[in-house]
Amino acid sequence: MALSTLISWTKGFRCSGVEGQDVVQLLRDAIQRQGTYNIDVVAVVNDTVGTMMGCEPGVGPCEVALIVDTGTNACYMEEARHVAGLDEDRGRTCVSIEWGSFNDNGALGPVLTVFDHALDHESLNPGAQRFEKMIGGYYLGELVRLVLAHLARRGVLFGGCTSPALLTRGKILLEHVAEMEEPSTGAARVHAILQDLGLSPEASDAELVQQVCVAVSTRAAQLCAAALAAVLSRLQHSREQQTLQVAVAIGGRVFERHPRFHSLLQDMVVLLVPECDVSFIPSVDGGGRGVAMVTAVAARMAAHRRLLEDTLAPFLLSRDQLIAVQAQMREAMAKGLRGEASSLRMLPTYVRATPDGSERGDFLALDLGGTNFRVLLVRVAKGGVQIINQVYSIPECVAQGSGQQLFDHIVDCIVDFQERQGLTGQSLPLGFTFSFPCQQLGLDQGILLNWTKGFNASDCEGQDVVCLLREAIRRRQAVELNVVAIVNDTVGTMMSCGYEDPRCEMGLIVGTGTNACYMEELRNVASVPGDLGHMCINMEWGAFGDDGSLDMFSTCFDENVDQASINPGKQRFEKMISGMYLGEIVRHVLLHLTSLGVLFRGQQTQRLQTRDIFKTKFLSEIESDSLALRQVRAILEDLGLPLTSDDALMVLEVCQAVSRRAAQLCGAGVAAVVEKIRENRALEKLTVSVGVDGTLYKLHPHFSSLVAATVRELAPRCVVTFLQSEDGSGKGAALVTAVACRLAQMARV
């Protein structure tokens, strides 16, 4: 409402440097130059819209307004679905027709007279506002003057005499025309006005002059009525009503001062659209009341906008804040590698090399990291990697039951897969992708530190998960499995992309949870002996900030989400980034805005108070550039949230703020890692690839680009390529196993 670009001047205005500019900003600048006023401009309102909005209540729906003043215009309430620029499919919106420019393309050519052409030629804007120049009060007197001068030259009036005043633009005004048409005093006023023009009218001249005035004003009223009839007919047909009952607000000096304009207009409208029951309501104060009403609404919306901006401000991270996150992560990485207390565990994975392309063979892979569990057969050959996989569900009662129940279920799934693929009795090397924090004591030894992502199976934390799997295999009997490696999904992602690009030395997951790994110099890993070579480090960066180092970036909404989680105080970085939590952050922000009256008319709905209604896919869909606002609203309504278009726009902004912060925090973490790799190798410039997986990263329309932009900003000396992993957790586990088999064979040789 407080943004309006002037398209063109009309009504005799022609100030330079204004067309194409925001007139609200120009006004604000002028107020600021004065320096003594504190005025907040919240709305710019067309006078026609103000007239409609100020229509007195109790006279039926006022959905059309008509101004015939210096210029002329009309507005009406159009079905929103018909206005392409709105992307709306319901409700109505006020459309300013700007009908003064009707006929600028020559549509009314047959109606134009030589006097219209002469007036247009002498105007400040020839060829523009042609309809207005036939109707507007600024021009009616001038049309009368041109006709009188023509008749005088032809000897029809004033004995064939003219005067300098009669030949001068602007000497006959709307007020003169109105006075000369006044039924009781018009004749006397004709003589007085003509004498003021330096003319000596004869007795017969007065009647002819009045006829000229009547002809000009009658044509104006009829043209105005025809245009209004077109608007009313459109309303009737678009609403599929047999009879349209509507109030039309009218205003402007022509209505106020001309004795017959109103009645001429009304009679012609009845003639042209008899199926419309029209009430004409004169504007009481020239639209001032309507402007005040619009301003009141705009002021409320502006207040809501400020509340929204204040609410989202903590999510807007500056460059300095992102640099601080990067620095804190670097410090936590260094402490974790040295074995000191740190929120980053920096766990050795005992993966010492990435694929070199010589790996061959058939391998089994298991992938446990969420609500689904996969078993895969991975065939690594010279021509590439072939994968056959089967998805099995992990019921919630199993994920949060006993450890024995969970691992027995996993083995049952493996046996089912072997039977389906004809692998029963074969003992293939197996890689186990286990996407939970583990301290690895070897490639096939992993101590579960703690459950995440909604898992809470008992008697598992502190245990070697490979041993738990082997015990379940023994309980099943007649099953032979050779567990070679336990692999974090992030490591699997790095290895999967490393098979395609040897420069890939970092893995990143941004899905249900988030984590990263990278190839560290072995000499920097205090917990593993040796100085030569590399070691893949599982950062477990979801726990970054659990020591309070991220508190300054945490909002009250993050605190709410954390406190309601199954692990309060833990995985704080993950809870600000991953798809499992972003929807909940959004929901808490929406609850807060609703409590402030900004959203949903301040009405708290039961649906909005329901946990986890916003899934990652909804955030991705809502922020999609290809969706119109009405489609965003439809998505939200499918969630049971009745809302207006303004609500939908605000929800979109909330989603954007939350996901942008997540991407920027993720980017700051990646920047910290690649900068460490560069400094480890004392390189002026590092070229490195990052293998990435996860639904949030892959499906969100802007997440990946925001991550990349943040990395470029914070690590300018690193050229980073992001590679989307294809089945990193499955293919990657098999490749870790394949590399381990290759290295073991080389060692035996």
For residue 18, give both structure tokens: 């204004």
pLDDT of residue 190: 94
**Span 550-566, pLDDT tens digits:** 999 999 999 999 999 98
Q: What angle do CA 102, 108, 113 make, to 5 degrees?
A: 115
Q: Which run of H or of E encompasses 217?
A: helix 203-238
Q: Is there a common fold for 47-289 and 318-538+659-749?
A: no
Tell me which of 374, 572, 661, 678 is the catalytic residue. 374
Residue 547 to residues 156, 321, 342, 554, 730: CA-CA distances in angstroms? Answer: 99, 18, 7, 13, 33
pLDDT of residue 205: 93
DSSP class of residue 55 equals: P
For residue 615, give both structure tokens: 């899934």
d(CA 612, CA 727): 27
Q: Which run of H or of E encompasses 518?
A: strand 514-521
pLDDT of residue 58: 57
Contact (Cβ atoms closer than 8 angstroms) between residue 476 and residue 420: no
Is the dihedral angle over the CA atoms 329, 335, 340, 344 positive or is it negative? Answer: positive
The question of whether 489 is a catalytic residue gets the answer yes
**Span 423-468, pLDDT tens digits:** 888 888 899 988 888 888 898 999 999 988 788 999 999 999 999 9
d(CA 233, CA 122): 35
d(CA 67, CA 265): 12
Contact (Cβ atoms closer than 8 angstroms) between residue 535 and residue 519: yes
Provide the CA 624 distance to its chain's centre, in angstroms: 8
The question of whether 435 is a catalytic residue gets the answer yes
The number of helices, as runs of H, and strands, as runs of E, in the chain is 25, 18
d(CA 583, CA 579): 7
β-strand partners of 440 = 446
Which strands sit side by side in the sheet containing 62-68, from one edge to the other? 92-96, 72-79, 62-68, 244-251, 276-282
Tell me which of 116, 367, 489, 562 is the catalytic residue. 489
Burial category of 501 from C-beta neighbours within 10 Å (exposed 0-12, middle 13-18, buried 19 and up): middle
pLDDT of residue 8: 81
The DSSP line for 359-420 is --EEEEEEEESSSEEEEEEEEEETTEEEEEEEEEE--HHHHTSBHHHHHHHHHHHHHHHHHH
The question of whether 374 is a catalytic residue gets the answer yes
Contact (Cβ atoms closer than 8 angstroms) between residue 655 and residue 621: no
pLDDT of residue 2: 57
pLDDT of residue 602: 85
Q: Quick count: other Cβ atoms within 10 Å of Cβ 192?
A: 14
Tell me which of 217, 283, 435, 689 is the catalytic residue. 435
d(CA 83, CA 177): 39
CATH number of 47-289: 3.40.367.20
pLDDT of residue 574: 97
Q: Where are the domains of the chain?
A: 47-289, 318-538+659-749
H-state helical runs in 578-727: 579-595, 616-622, 629-638, 645-680, 695-699, 703-714
CATH number of 318-538+659-749: 3.30.420.40
Average per-residue pLDDT for the chain: 89
Q: Quick count: other Cβ atoms within 10 Å of Cβ 7?
A: 10
pLDDT of residue 620: 86
- Ranges of the chain whose pLDDT falls below 70: 1-3, 11, 42-43, 56-60, 87-90, 104, 286-287, 628, 745, 747-749
Tell me phi and psi for residue 612, to 5 degrees: 65, 30
Q: Report strand pairing: 429-434 vs 482-487.
A: parallel
β-strand partners of 373 = 368, 392
